[in-house]
Structure formats: C-alpha cells, structure tokens
Structure 1
Amino acid sequence: MIEPSEKAQALIADLQAFIAQEIKPIEAREQLDWGRPHPRALLADIWRRACERGFYNAMLPEALGGRGLSVVDLCALKEAALLTGSPLAPHVLGELSGPPRIGHLFKVASDDQAERFLRPVCQAERAVCFAVTEAEAGSDVSALQTSARREGDCYVLNGTKRYISGAPYADIAVLIARVEGSRGGDGITAFFVDLHGEGVSVETDYQVMSGPGSHGDIVLRDARVPVANRIGEEGQGFKLAMGRITLNRLLHCATMLGMAGLALNLSLDHARTRMQFGKPIAMFQAINHMLADMATELYAARSMMFATAALNDQGGDIKVQASMSKLFCSETAFRIADRAVQVHGGAGLIQGHPVEWLFRATRMMRILTGTSEIQRNTIAKGLLMPAR
C-alpha cells in the first residue's frame, strides 16, 4: 500500500489530536448529532479554530498558505479526518465551505477578486459554495439556463441553482451562468455572487438524504452582479467548472473511503461488544463473513485510490483511472455501509446513529461529482478512444 509522506503523517497526527481535544468536546457540549443541521455560528467558530491551527488551509499549495501536500497526502488526510468519527471533521479541513473549494481560482481571479473574495475565505472570515447544478442541468452542464444579461458595468442574473452543498451557510457563491444569446458551452461564464445581495436568496425548504442544513437552492431574481465579479472572460465558465473535475473525483474517493472505514471500525467494535445467545456476535460466522468482506473490499478500493493518486503525482494522465476510482469507491463504500447497518441490527436503523447516517451519506456519493453511469461513460470512452 502506498503511504503518505512523513509530513502528511505528522499533520494527520496533529489533526487527530485537535479533533479529539477541541472538536469532540464541543460536539458533546452542543449535543451535535449525525445528519442534523449545525448552527452557522458554531461552524464559524470551528472554521476559525481550524484556521488558527493551520488545518483549514492545509489542502492548499504552500504559496497560498497551505501545506504543499501531494495528492497521495491529500487523500490520506481527507480519509483520516472522517475516520476520527467526528461529524464536524470535514469542516475542520474547510471541505464544505472553505479553501479547498477555491484554491484553484487564484490562477484565474484578478488581484482585486483575490482580496475581496478568496483571501477572506482562506482566513475563515467568509464561507463559499460552488453553484453549477440546475433542475435541467446536472451531468449535462452545457444545458444550464441561468442567464446573465450585460447592462453597463453589471450583469443581471436570473435563474435557480439546485442542490448546492454549503449554500445555507455560505456568504459567496462561485456561480456559473449563461450569457444571453449563447448556446451550448459557448457563453457559459463564472461569477462571484454575494449571497446577501439584493435579488439573491437561498431557499432550504427540502433536505437531502444526508440530512438537513447543508444544501439549498440559490434563487436569482434580477440580481445585479458587477462586471468586476466576473471570473475570467465571457465563455470561460465551462472550462472553469470542468477543469478540476478529474482531480475532484479522485479526492472525493478519500471522503467515501473515510466513511467506509468508519463504518467498518464501528462494526468491529459493535461485533465485539454486542451479546446474543450468551456470546459476542463476533463469534458468529455470518457476522465474521460480513466483516471480512467489508475489510477486503475497503483494501481493494484504497489500493485503487492511492495508486491513482500516485500516478497523478508522477505526472500521469488519470482521467480514466479517476473515473474508475470514483465508480469503484462509491459503489464499494455504499456496500460497506449497508453491511454495517446489518451488523448493527436495530441500532443501525435509528436516526442519529453513525452507521444510519453513513448508509445515507454513502448512497449520495454514487450521484455526486458524476453518477456511476457517467463514470462508466468516461471509462468506456477512454478505453475505446485512447489518446494518441
């Protein structure tokens, strides 16, 4: 198995200690539960604490105040955060609202935009979300219909973005819209949008499988966005939206496998302590076989993820392998979570129990950043039409 660097291993140890000593006591005090909404003020406090300790920006390049980690290291760090068993662990790394979402934008944003939008996010002063998906534009980004009409020094935006993760507690959206009169990928343009501005609202009248409080719709009704907030030139938004999709698919695998690893660890603990017929259920072969299958499949998925990450670090093209990893890891993580519910029995069905939430959360992962079917399309295309 490919191992993270010594620098990453030291960072992981510090992260684990920080979560154990500072974050978990907060979760206990506030009685935070899995899959329940977390107050915005509490999240802001977590972001600030994590930023002060250097975890919030850890996934950025060194030039931007991060740790300069390899992709292998990033996968190991993200997986380790989930394995702590803390519901707030992703927030410690800024995964849902912070620097990992905007680090790549420093290459395309103006100096003014970096100062007004990007640096406040990196300093945990403002939260950000990425808004692409619409009711009729999911896998087919080119079909989006949110419009941007140029009027002097502003664009007037109209439309609705759906299922946007982090929207309920974000201050800024990196939002993709189509300049009026354009078609297909042409004219798709990216903007920094102030979610507290006039004509902009965030609606959260639904909840996704992983629970309420973390997803919402961004509704734009004649929202005036300054031209100075446009990211790059008109028509570059499609490239910006899709530019990191390959790497993001791979990095999502670390989240999925962190969830799967946590499900396995919880199942092992439960099997050792749950008594039936006078002995721990770990003594029953049916339970043994489920645990063995969970561990075996997790090992295979982790091997694929780290091999792909190492290939990327070596400069290789991972477009096909990243889709293979996302497909295999998402399907595997869900199977492991499903068995974890089975091992836990009735306890695993109770809302608020970690494995019940992991079952729902891993099921979502087969949809996010490209469905399993989209991954298969990408893989098949890569096999049938190899690069020359």
Structure 2
Amino acid sequence: MTAIPQPLFDGPFEGSARAAEIVARVQDFLHGELAELARAHGIDHEHGADRALLQQVWRRAHALGFYGMTLPEEMGGLGLPVLDHVLIKEAIYASGSPFAPHVFGELSGPPRVGALARQATPQQMAQFIVPVAQAEMAICFALTEAEAGSDAGAVQTRAVLEGEHYVVNGRKRFISGSPFADAAVLLASTAAEGAAEREVTAFFVDLRSPGARVESGYKTMAGQTSTGDIVLEDCRVPLANRIGAPGRGLALALGRISVNRLLHCPAMLGLAQLALRDARDYALQRRQFGRSIAQFQAIQHMLAEMATELAAARALMLGTARALDAGGAARAETSMAKLFCSETAFRVADRAVQIHGGEGIVQGRRVEFLFRMLRMYRVLTGTSEIQKNTIAKELLESA
C-alpha cells in the first residue's frame, strides 16, 4: 500500500469528529484500493479511466458511504456542514489520486443534483436523482455555450413547447463530465421568439434520446478529456422533465452559487499542498555544490512564501465555510475565497516548478501537471475578473 502523506502543517483537525473519521477512511480508500486500481489500469491525471471503470469506482465509493455523503440526510447523505465538506474534499485532492474527483462524484454524481431535490417531482426523483445518488446514472450540468459563459442568461439553446414535449435545439460547450454522462441538467431559453425579456428554464435531458448527442474530443491544457459538447437537434424532452416553473432555470442553477464557489477552493488548495510537498521533498534530495538545495536561502524563501500564502488562503477558505454554516450569504467572501485561493494556488505551483528547475518543465512530472491544472482554476467556475466584479458590487452596494 502507498504510504499516506502527512499533513504539511501540525495542528488539530478543524472539523467535526465525524469528518475526521471520514478523512481517515477515505485516505485508506484512495491510497489503498484506488491506488492499486490506477496502477493496474495505467490511470494517471492525463490518462483517464473509461466509463466502465469509473462506474466501478462510483459504485465502490457508494458502498463505502463516500459517494453521496454531500447529499441532504433525507436523500441518504450525511447533511454535512460546509466546513466538514471543505476539509474532506481538501484531503481527497491533497492525496494526489487521479480518482479524486470521482470519490464524491463531483463531475457527474450527487453534487450535480443534490440542490435540485426540493424542486424535483416524484417522477424526476425516481428517474434521475435517485439513480444518480446510487451511482447507477451519471449526470452533467449543461449551461455554458459559445455566447453564454460569465453571462449565464445569454443562452441560445431554445426549448419550444409542443404539446407534452419541448423541442430543444442548440449546442452546449465545455460541459464537464459530459463524455460519460447518461443525462444532463440543461438550461435553455423558453422565451417567445423576439421577446425582450430573458426566460431560462431547466430540464432533465436523457442524453440517450433521439436528437441528443455528446461530442467529445476536448483536451484541456492539463491533458484531461472529461469535457465535451452536447448537441441537441430537434430533441424532444417531455414536459414532465422540466425542473420547476418556466423562467426559473437560472435561479435553480445559481441558487447555491456562493457555496459552490467555495467548494472549488479545497480542490485548488489540496493540489497546491501537493505541489509544495513535492517542492520541499525535491529541495531536500537535490544536491548542488556539495549540499542539498534546501540549504540555499533563495530556495528557503520560496518555500516559506509558498507555505505562508497557502496558510492564508486556507484560513480564508475555512473562515468563509464557517460564515456559510452560520447562515450568512457570504457572497463577497466566497468570491474572495475563489479569487485568492485560485491565484495563490497557481503562484505556489509556479514556484514549485522553479524549485524543480529542468525537472519541473518536463512533461510527465507531477509538478508540471499541477502547474497546468492550477492555471485552469483561474478560469474555471468563474474567472478571477468575475470574482472581482462580485466583490466590488457587494462592497459598493453596502455603502
């Protein structure tokens, strides 16, 4: 079994006793069973698993109680507070496992549907949400289009009601998890042709339906292929698959945007901790001029800056989690956390590459992958510039 890395910083665990127990068990799962599975199938961060192997991971994670833990208790989850969720996710990503995103089912599992349970009809629960929660179905969230990114309401995909079905036409771009999804939570315009007001509505769409297809082929700068386009050509979606009332799509999709922004931070910081650990260990073993480079002040200062900035980012993340658990909206704080954590994590990765020297710029080295992966987080889930807009808006409106 692979040795479980020790935390970078000493100190008491800041979550609940239940969360501490989950972290210990999930670490055993990641560094034991899943590490062996990755080795057996040649899986790493840039050589992903196929759908059959992913479903094996999902089902095993579900059997161990990890897969749906983020769901509300009434759906079989643990109803975790945000702080516990953040700490568990941070530990998962700090493990370095290529299966880290699949333990919770982040790309295609329970986190995609948990917030919809209160709006879903009994039929939608049985057809979509329960199978996703039980690791029997994969689902993606399809909002982004060529002209609808930061401006989420500018969707051009149209859904026209004809009797008991909506006829849907359009193309969704850069949809995470779509290459292995069975269904999508899809947002489309239901406004009348030429209407001045936007009306965006959410639907469950079975991607195996006639007129729906997924076009894979995107490879991100981090080398991953879990993103694709969803193309809809006269796809007939039952009226019964509409989620909530017409025009409520954006409210449903963005209703938990503050929490969702924060929940990307532990992934960034977990990966950044991995970069710092790799840089520290490399500095200790790399020798130049008769001694380890860790003895050079320039290297020590880089390591000190990396550790200090990570500690500050982590404090902001945990403080924001506590504010959300206390019932605060924390709109500015979650944007601050997303902004600061993503920028900090990338700076840490950049210095880690610098410490590795020539070894750090060779493809196939983990630190080089982390550099590319952490660069992406400055764009994903809301760019740094959009976060600054939100922070400024909240600040000015509070005057």
TM-score (norm 1): 0.97
Q: 1:298 to 1:31 in 2, by over 3 A?
A: same
- Cα distance in 1 between the residues matched to 2:187 and 2:123: 20
- Which amino acid counterpart does residue 102 of structure 2 have in structure 1? H
In the TM superposition, residue 185 of structure 1 has moved relative to its aligned partner by: 6.4
What is the match of residue 198 of structure 2? 186
What is the match of residue 34 of structure 1? 45
Larger RCO: Structure 1 or Structure 2 (Cα < 8 Å, ≥ 6 residues apart)? Answer: 1
- Which amino acid counterpart does residue 342 of structure 2 have in structure 1? S
Look up the SS of the partner of 2:184 in the other structure.
strand
- Cα distance in 2 between the residues matched to 1:304 and 1:32: 33
- Which amino acid counterpart does residue 168 of structure 1 have in structure 2? P
Q: Equivalences for 1:4-43 in 2 at 5 Å?
A: 4-43=15-54
Deviations 1:81-138 (Å, cap 9, x if unpaired)?
0111111112111111110111111011101100100010111111111000000110
Q: Is 2:108 aligned against 1:97? A: yes
What is the match of residue 210 of structure 1? 222
Q: Pick one of 170, 176, 194 that aligns with 1:159.
A: 170
Deviations 1:20-47 (Å, cap 9, x if unpaired)?
1200011111121222232111111111
Deviations 1:222-271 (Å, cap 9, x if unpaired)?
11111111111111101112111111001111111111111111111211
What is the match of residue 196 of structure 1? 208
What is the match of residue 248 of structure 1? 260
Runs of 4+ more than 4 Å apart: 182-185
In the TM superposition, residue 279 of structure 1 has moved relative to its aligned partner by: 2.3
- Cα distance in 1 between the residues matched to 2:197 and 2:33: 46
Look up the SS of the partner of 1:137 in the other structure.
coil
What is the match of residue 275 of structure 1? 287
- Is the CA contact 2:83–2:322 (under 8 Å) kept in the aligned structure 1? yes
- Which amino acid counterpart does residue 79 of structure 2 have in structure 1? G
Q: Is 2:372 aligned against 1:321? A: no
What is the match of residue 109 of structure 1? 120
In the TM superposition, residue 352 of structure 1 has moved relative to its aligned partner by: 3.0
- Superposition CA RMSD, Å: 1.5
Q: Is 2:386 aligned against 1:374? A: yes
- Is the CA contact 1:55–1:92 (under 8 Å) kept in the aligned structure 2? yes
Deviations 1:192-211 (Å, cap 9, x if unpaired)?
11111111111123312222
Q: 1:40 to 1:351 in 2, by over 3 A?
A: farther
- Which amino acid counterpart does residue 39 of structure 1 have in structure 2? D
- Cα distance in 2 between the residues matched to 1:346 and 1:45: 38
- Cα distance in 1 between the residues matched to 2:356 and 2:181: 36
What is the match of residue 303 of structure 1? 315
Deviations 1:133-189 (Å, cap 9, x if unpaired)?
000110001111000011111111111000000011111100000014165763200
Q: Is 2:208 aligned against 1:222? A: no
What is the match of residue 152 of structure 2? 141
